[in-house]
A and B are shown apart, each in its own frame.
Chain A
Amino acid sequence: MRKTSDTGGLRTLGWDGLIQILLIGNSVVMLAPIVIMVFSAFKTNAQIFQSPFSIPDFTHVASILRVWNETDFLLYMGNSLIVTATSIALILILGTMAAYAIARYEFRGSGFILLFFLAGLTLPLKLAIIPLFIQMRDFGLIDSRLSLIFIYVATGLPTAVFIMTGFIRSLPNELEDAARMDGASEARIMWSIMLPLVRPAMVIAAIQNVVPIWNDFFFPLIFIQNNDLKTLPQGLTTFMGEFGTDWGVLFSGLTLSALPIIILYIALSRQFINGMTAGAIK
């Protein structure tokens, strides 16, 4: 943020140097495991054990092809996509509805409703897994994607409502009032005038939820037993078990699973960092 090297001379320079070394060291520790993982995906078992840190021959894609062709990797990926996309869509639709009503209209109980959603931020639903399990069984939703989608929507809504209410409140009244004078209906005002302005908050709410939902392991573990419905994190544990001794395949599986989100993150790092820390930074 601010440079102090002009005030302290050598001493400050030394301090900055120390910090620079610490940061570089930390980045090495953060990145090395990921680099080793990707490198190992291109190695044979023997190469992984003999020279774990060497740069591989990137044309050796046998392990990657095995994961691609012989395991259900693509199936799991598809399931994760379906579950995540549906959940995010529902979170955004329902979250915007609630946030819009709370932020744009004065009505009795609006404060209470906001508090109700905020309370949801802190409830660890994991601990209610026994009632959830019984409830889902009664609804006939065990071994169904809907069980996951419903849970993700319920856990994702509080953050979405929290982020979007704050944002929608900050939007100016003038456009809305003008449209109301012209006789536009409330639905029309929301859809054509306000919603286009809400998009930035929707992006943050989407990113904040997409990572935990895409990565979730716990709820599929409980609710999905059918292999055809398993999500990527859950499926990954299955085929890591099957290929337990072939490290080339194991690292390829991990690399293929991690790569989509790593690439997305590197491309959109600013949005990811803002999105994922938005709830914690007020």
Chain B
Amino acid sequence: MITAKLTGRRLWIAALVVPPLAFMCLFLVYPILSAFAYAFYEWRGLARGEFVWFANFHRVLFEFPFSERTVNAFKHNIFVFFALMVLQNGLGFILAYCLWRELWGARFHRIAVFLPVVLSTVIVGLLWKLFYHPLFGAVNATLRGLGLGSLAQPWLGQDSTALTAIVVANAWHMVGFPTLVFLAGMQRIPSEILDAVRMETESEWVKMTKIVWPLVAPSATVVFTLLFVGAFNWFELPFIMAGVDGAPHGATDVLGLYFYRTAFGSMSASAENFGPGSALAVLIFLFIAVVSSVITVRLRKREIQL
């Protein structure tokens, strides 16, 4: 009787757990594991060829023209990461601090700052592409209206500004996210601590740097890690705003674009480079996994010390 009941329960648990697990294995785990395996094979279109050890990796890292593009795209990703760190997460922290004080209208400001986050990257990308238009775009129109017409320029059309212009659009789109994560962190600071600090100092600056910042460290860990993963996965926004080649002249080329181009770029000509593409995917994946776990571990350590 007891065993019958136990088997029944076991079956019931299996019935609950197996379908979702099967889904995960089939469409998430299996493809990711395959991505590692595929990188070691030669590919002719969609057909898998011979096992070629590290040949694909060698091509992507050391052979022209792949190597040059890899380095170029990687440099751009690093720039994107640091620029977004300052613009998106930095502003996010300041905005969170401002919202945290619950001044009049804070609720409205909180809704406003998060509004762009719910928009599709495609909408944001196309919208800002129109805004950056050298002749008719709103960005140059604003500059002219402010009497700064001399600063008007083809933002997306020249090497020196194109990547920064896309980064700014990204910061506008996503700044609400770190803002609200930081804000949630600040709202969890116990009021006793703040009262104690108020006895010690009147300086808002001291309060912010010595108390608020260290105590929102857990939020910072989350936000930094997500930004790192996002910056090295970056694809949609540059694809929409600059195109798959990273126009102009590869000035906006990033690893995501380069990976897509290598794997699927010439699909119509049925000459995909699935081999180097897979190697590139594995390298990006490993880089993201290793660095983001180092970031997380190091920042977590800091959290405990404080």
| Chain A residues at the B interface, C-beta cutoff of 8 Å | 1-4, 7-8, 11-12, 15-16, 19-20, 22-24, 26-27, 29-31, 33-34, 36-37, 48-49, 52-53, 94-95, 97-98, 100-102, 105, 107, 113, 116-117, 120, 122-135, 137, 150-151, 153-155, 157-158, 161, 186-187, 211, 214-215, 217-218, 222, 232-234, 236-237, 240, 247, 250-251, 254, 257-258, 261-262, 265-266, 269, 272-273, 276-277, 280-282
Query: Contact: B101 with A107, CB < 8 Å?
Result: no
> Which A residues are in CB contact (< 8 Å) with B151?
none
Selected contact of A277 from candidates B19, B32, B177, B288, CB within 8 Å: B177
Q: Known contacts A27-B113, A265-B115; decide if A16 and B236 are in contact (CB<8 Å).
A: no
14 extra A-B contacts, CB within 8 A, seeds A34-B115, A233-B122: A2-B101, A26-B112, A30-B112, A30-B113, A30-B115, A33-B128, A52-B138, A127-B35, A130-B278, A132-B31, A135-B31, A154-B23, A214-B120, A280-B223
Tell me the minimal C-beta distance from B293 to chain A in angstroms: 9
Q: How far is the CA of A108 from the CA of B274 in the complex (A)?
A: 40
Residue of A nearest to B102 (CB): A1
Which of B10, B95, B218 counts the most chain A CB atoms within 10 A? B95
> Which B residues are in CB contact (< 8 Å) with A101?
13, 16-17
Query: Contact: A157 with B34, CB < 8 Å?
Result: no
Query: Contact: B127 with A254, CB < 8 Å?
Result: yes
> Which A residues are in CB contact (< 8 Å) with B282?
127
- Chain B interface extent, by class: 35 or more
Query: Contact: B130 with A247, CB < 8 Å?
Result: yes
Selected contact of B130 from candidates A120, A155, A250, CB within 8 Å: A250
Query: Contact: A34 with B116, CB < 8 Å?
Result: yes
> Which A residues are in CB contact (< 8 Å) with B20?
94-95, 97-98, 117, 157, 161
Selected contact of A15 from candidates B198, B204, B233, CB within 8 Å: B204
Tell me the minimal C-beta distance from A216 to chain B in angstroms: 8
Query: Contact: B116 with A157, CB < 8 Å?
Result: no
Query: Contact: A131 with B35, CB < 8 Å?
Result: yes
